[in-house]
Structure 1
Amino acid sequence: MQVDSPRGTEPSSGPPEAAREEGALARLGIRFTNWAERWFPDAFVFVAIAVVVVALGALANGAPVLAVTKSFGDGFWSLIPFTMQMAFVTIGGYVVATSPPVQRLIDRMAMIPKTGRGAVGFVAAMTMLSSFLSWGLSLIFGGLLAKALARRTDLRMDYRAAGAAAYLGLGATWALGLSSSAAQLQANPKSLPPNLLAITGVIPFSETIFLWQSILVAAVLFVISVIIATVSAPGPASAVTAQDLGVDPAREEERTPPPAQPGEWLEHWPILSILLVLLGGTWIVQEFARQSWMTAISNLNTYNLIFITLGLLLHWRPINFLKAVARSVPATAGILIQFPLYAAISAMLTGAKNAAGTSVSDVITHAFVSLNTTGSFPVAMGVYSAVLGFFVPSGGGKWLLEAPYVMQAANELKVHLGWAVMVYNAAEALPNLINPFFMLPLLGVLGLKARDIVGFSFLQLIVHLPVVLFLLWALAFTLTYHPPVMP
């Protein structure tokens, strides 16, 4: 899956002194992404291969052919509610980020930094803060902020470094925030496949993203990422600006023509938006009034309705809201077609059993348990999740693939189940820093290619990896195992 650069040529690496300032790691990262863009197929190919591998594994484990096919078919449609919920995370974040009031806010924020390097650090900080609310919001918001800064004639900012900073929300902190796919799944029993619910039970936000240990990991990653983004950004003499790269950062103004026919008046009538906002807003208030805010926000339906309602209000006219939704829909294609396959994989892992009643998940669980102790499990799971994440770039989908056996292993090794979810979350984000798949919406906003920004994000990965693994290991000792809680 490629994103063509509007400049029509290969990206410039800047003058020699700029390349030297980036250092060997950045150059290695650029070479790596050049290779990945040439040889890596679309993520759908990886999930299709995973389906075949798991099916063959179940057959090799002695499961009957009919049991394997039945598990595949039964599991395929078991995750439709969650699939749509994840699609709406993308749509809601995009609609809010592209609304006129948020665009004006971004323009005002772009006047704050005083230097090019400071601007890159500012993009990193704002992008990661927005990622705690929504990864869909973070990608678009960060890209628009980087473009707004690039429009400043008094600020010589390296556009590639700013683009990499705009990606840090998804590459560093999103899975530790409210839109964490794994944490949302585990907090919503109706969204969980029955086979996984039987292993993990319900794990509320208070036991995952709102653990003080999880908040500490997020804070450490936030500070480190901002420092690296600022320090690694080229100075004014060697910065490669958007104009140097042939990118025009001017805001794309889309004016909606006035209604030409009577039927079009309703599309421009803000009263319809206001009425919908009142209905949705009243329901949201009721949800927060009848339960704790932590329980309310952990419900994906409530979470998504907040963003959709806010998007309606910020776009004001129905026609503008609908146009924003239409622009966001292409970014949901991977979610819509791949998540059912992930659900089918999860079902085959646990449901296709041999004559002895053993599944592929049981075999992998035994391997995890035999090779690990309670102390080593967080590091082993973190490394495994990070490596697998490069080939399966989907936080929620990959959780369905991993969770049946890693969570069963966590039960047997007496590892805090909520922390096991956060181990997955922190490690799962690491490969995003160099994986082109989730860069695509951001690159479309920036007008760049993945190879333009991955040199800088690769530097982040080099530092994040040991820090994350150490924190996952050390903080595990501060938590105590509790058996699964069933709904």
Structure 2
Amino acid sequence: MSFDSKPVANAPALHEQGDENPPVLERIALRVTAWCEKWYPDAFVFVSLTVLAVALGALAAGASPRIVAVSFGNGFWSLIPFTMQMAMVAITGYVIASSPPIARLVTRAARVPASGRSAVAYVAFLSVLTSLLHWAISLVFAGLLVRELARRTDLRMDYRAAGAAAYLGIGATWAMGLSSSAAQLQANPASIPPSLLPITGVIPFSETLFLWQSLTIALALVVTSTLIAWWTAPGPTRAKTATELGIVLDTIDDALPPRERPGEWLEYSPALILVLVALGGGWLVNEFASKNWLVAISGLNTYNLIFLMLGMLLHWRPKRFLRAVSKAVPVTAGVLIQFPLYGAIASMLTSAKSATGASLTHYLSTLFVSIASTDTFALVMGVYSAVLGFFVPSGGGKWVIEAPYVMQAANALHVHLGWAVQIYNAAEALPNLINPFWMLPLLGILGLKARDLVGFTFAQFVCGTLLVLTMLWALAPTLVYHAPVMP
């Protein structure tokens, strides 16, 4: 499946043709985005700088250079199972969303909206809703839907606003759903780094994603994101269609190349797919029959196997399935190279101790306790996670960095540990709305630049931040602290 969208030469720039005076929020967002595109380094640079900062902090806390180096090495590979699991989340989402049946579903879904503004709100609603199930499916599905809507000659839809709406799932709700890496990690004892387990224990989904407080925030974000998309979508006179922006919406060629030699016949036959799905399905049936469904679905291996088997079925032929996997692999590059560094950072935070037995985590958690109380912890941690998320766009992986000291502080202040995870989840996603890092797969599908979207996502960022921080603070007193539960 090809997503090439080629801009036409001399395509009109953003805000030309009577759009010289965009709203104040949009102008600010465009300046922020222009600065980011010019000066913002790759996320790997920020993670490497964090490694340096933590190493220096551990030395300043009294740990010897040898202990710091040993802690770095011991932690480097501690997240390998979790790294592979999160890479599979990205791959399976892309594979499913790019399958022929989903392409046909996208075509039918694109017939629903009756106006350009309703089309933008429609994309936003589907994006934030599907991201609760799987962030990668949301990103690709919504991007393909925008392209299909843009082909409708009877619909004057702003292509930039629709593209921004397609991105809302990754910036508003995904971390509150089943693919939340923080909630998944905390629910799986085998995924939790040994240095973190004594601090947090195992926290099941019932204490994170499925708290009524968490569901309330998720619902509020779905509704608010959809409404803001409607309110900020340009009307017919100001809308810029894909054609006006110089975007050529190529027809997606989904046909398999013809078989060239007899040895390829199994690659073009569904027989092996059916065998693999039958075996995987048998395991899944046993898993759900022998466990509570909430416990079963909270296992990352179960979650990934469900979507992997579904992806195989939707592509039907091994050849088509493998083509989709190969196109999905580049999306995982950041996960594969950054997550080992997160593991090393977590290890240095907790294991690089001074002669008195104090680690950097001890000093950081003490700092958190000194500036926050039980009542203000949600607000302080929410702001901190959002700010750090702008500089370290991790897709949730930086939870391993924050968890040792923020959870130790939560224990000290008797803050519900599952709610602390959800504070991180709700706040950590927000910076994605103004950071171009996670936009890249979507931009490749749409043929746009980050600056084309951020004018619209900035309004979502401002409103979402106010909503999330207020709700995190207001709902915190409704939860009761429980000590960490060991496996």
Confirm or deny a common fold (TM above 0.5): yes
8 Å Cα contact 1:349/1:361 also seen in 2: yes
Q: 3-state DSSP class of the match of 2:96?
A: helix
Report the equivalent of 1:249. 249
Q: 3-state DSSP class of the match of 1:386?
A: helix
Per mean C-alpha deviation after superposition, the further-off stretch among 395-404 and 427-436 is: 395-404
Distance, in Å, in 1 between the alignment partners of 2:439 and 2:146 is 14
1:407-452 deviation digits (Å, cap 9, x = unpaired): 0000000000000000000000110100110111111111111000
Query: Per the alignment, do residues 57 and 121 of structure 1 end up closer, same or farther by CA in structure 2, a change over 3 Å counting?
Result: same
Report the equivalent of 1:61. 61
- 1:280-291 to 2 correspondences below 5 Å: 280-291=280-291
Query: Per the alignment, do residues 4 and 141 of structure 1 end up closer, same or farther by CA in structure 2, a change over 3 Å counting?
Result: closer
Distance, in Å, in 2 between the alignment partners of 1:144 and 1:158 is 15
Are residues 1:18 and 2:19 paired? yes
8 Å Cα contact 1:123/1:165 also seen in 2: yes
Distance, in Å, in 2 between the alignment partners of 1:416 and 1:286 is 33
Distance, in Å, in 1 between the alignment partners of 2:467 and 2:44 is 31
Segments of structure 1 that go 5 or more residues without pairing to the other structure are: none
Distance, in Å, in 2 between the alignment partners of 1:202 and 1:387 is 27
1:89-137 deviation digits (Å, cap 9, x = unpaired): 0000000000000010011000000000000000000111110111111
8 Å Cα contact 1:19/1:27 also seen in 2: no
- 1:23-62 to 2 correspondences below 5 Å: 23-62=23-62
Report the equivalent of 2:237. 237
Report the equivalent of 1:129. 129
Distance, in Å, in 1 between the alignment partners of 2:457 and 2:484 is 37
Distance, in Å, in 1 between the alignment partners of 2:337 and 2:422 is 26
Matched AA of 2:31: R
- 1:363-374 to 2 correspondences below 5 Å: 363-374=363-374
Report the equivalent of 1:472. 472
8 Å Cα contact 2:182/2:396 also seen in 1: yes
TM-score relative to the length of structure 1 = 0.97
Report the equivalent of 2:302. 302
Report the equivalent of 1:380. 380
Distance, in Å, in 2 between the alignment partners of 1:92 and 1:11 is 36
Report the equivalent of 1:205. 205
8 Å Cα contact 1:188/1:298 also seen in 2: yes
Query: Per the alignment, do residues 472 and 414 of structure 1 end up closer, same or farther by CA in structure 2, a change over 3 Å counting?
Result: same
Distance, in Å, in 2 between the alignment partners of 1:10 and 1:49 is 39
Report the equivalent of 1:450. 450
Distance, in Å, in 1 between the alignment partners of 2:286 and 2:12 is 52
Question: Number of matched residues?
Answer: 484
Distance, in Å, in 2 between the alignment partners of 1:62 and 1:50 is 18
Query: Per the alignment, do residues 450 and 282 of structure 1 end up closer, same or farther by CA in structure 2, a change over 3 Å counting?
Result: same
Q: 3-state DSSP class of the match of 2:141?
A: helix
Q: 3-state DSSP class of the match of 1:25?
A: helix
Shift of 1:467: 1.0
Distance, in Å, in 2 between the alignment partners of 1:10 and 1:366 is 55
Shift of 1:15: 3.6
Shift of 1:62: 1.1
8 Å Cα contact 1:182/1:395 also seen in 2: no
Distance, in Å, in 2 between the alignment partners of 1:50 and 1:11 is 40
Q: 3-state DSSP class of the match of 2:23?
A: helix
Shift of 1:6: 4.0
- 1:34-433 to 2 correspondences below 5 Å: 34-433=34-433
Distance, in Å, in 1 between the alignment partners of 2:149 and 2:284 is 35
Q: 3-state DSSP class of the match of 1:248?
A: strand
Shift of 1:333: 0.5
Shift of 1:11: 6.5
Shift of 1:5: 7.3
8 Å Cα contact 1:11/1:452 also seen in 2: no
Q: 3-state DSSP class of the match of 2:19?
A: helix
Per mean C-alpha deviation after superposition, the further-off stretch among 460-469 and 248-257 is: 248-257
Shift of 1:8: 6.0
Query: Per the alignment, do residues 84 and 8 of structure 1 end up closer, same or farther by CA in structure 2, a change over 3 Å counting?
Result: farther
Distance, in Å, in 2 between the alignment partners of 1:418 and 1:288 is 24
8 Å Cα contact 1:147/1:250 also seen in 2: no
Shift of 1:396: 3.1
Shift of 1:238: 1.1
Shift of 1:395: 3.5
Shift of 1:277: 1.1
8 Å Cα contact 2:7/2:248 also seen in 1: no
1:356-408 deviation digits (Å, cap 9, x = unpaired): 11111110000001111100000000000000000110143210110000000
Distance, in Å, in 2 between the alignment partners of 1:451 and 1:11 is 14
Per mean C-alpha deviation after superposition, the further-off stretch among 469-478 and 388-397 is: 388-397
Percentage identity across paired residues of the two chains: 62
Per mean C-alpha deviation after superposition, the further-off stretch among 248-257 and 136-145 is: 248-257
Per mean C-alpha deviation after superposition, the further-off stretch among 11-20 and 210-219 is: 11-20
Query: Per the alignment, do residues 368 and 454 of structure 1 end up closer, same or farther by CA in structure 2, a change over 3 Å counting?
Result: same
Shift of 1:249: 2.3
8 Å Cα contact 1:178/1:209 also seen in 2: yes
8 Å Cα contact 2:113/2:119 also seen in 1: yes
Query: Per the alignment, do residues 458 and 115 of structure 1 end up closer, same or farther by CA in structure 2, a change over 3 Å counting?
Result: same
Distance, in Å, in 2 between the alignment partners of 1:405 and 1:5 is 47
Distance, in Å, in 2 between the alignment partners of 1:414 and 1:38 is 43
Distance, in Å, in 1 between the alignment partners of 2:5 and 2:27 is 21
Query: Per the alignment, do residues 11 and 341 of structure 1 end up closer, same or farther by CA in structure 2, a change over 3 Å counting?
Result: farther
8 Å Cα contact 2:12/2:246 also seen in 1: no
Segments of structure 2 that go 5 or more residues without pairing to the other structure are: none
Shift of 1:17: 3.8
Q: 3-state DSSP class of the match of 1:152?
A: coil
8 Å Cα contact 1:34/1:451 also seen in 2: yes
8 Å Cα contact 1:423/1:472 also seen in 2: yes
8 Å Cα contact 1:343/1:397 also seen in 2: no
Shift of 1:9: 6.0
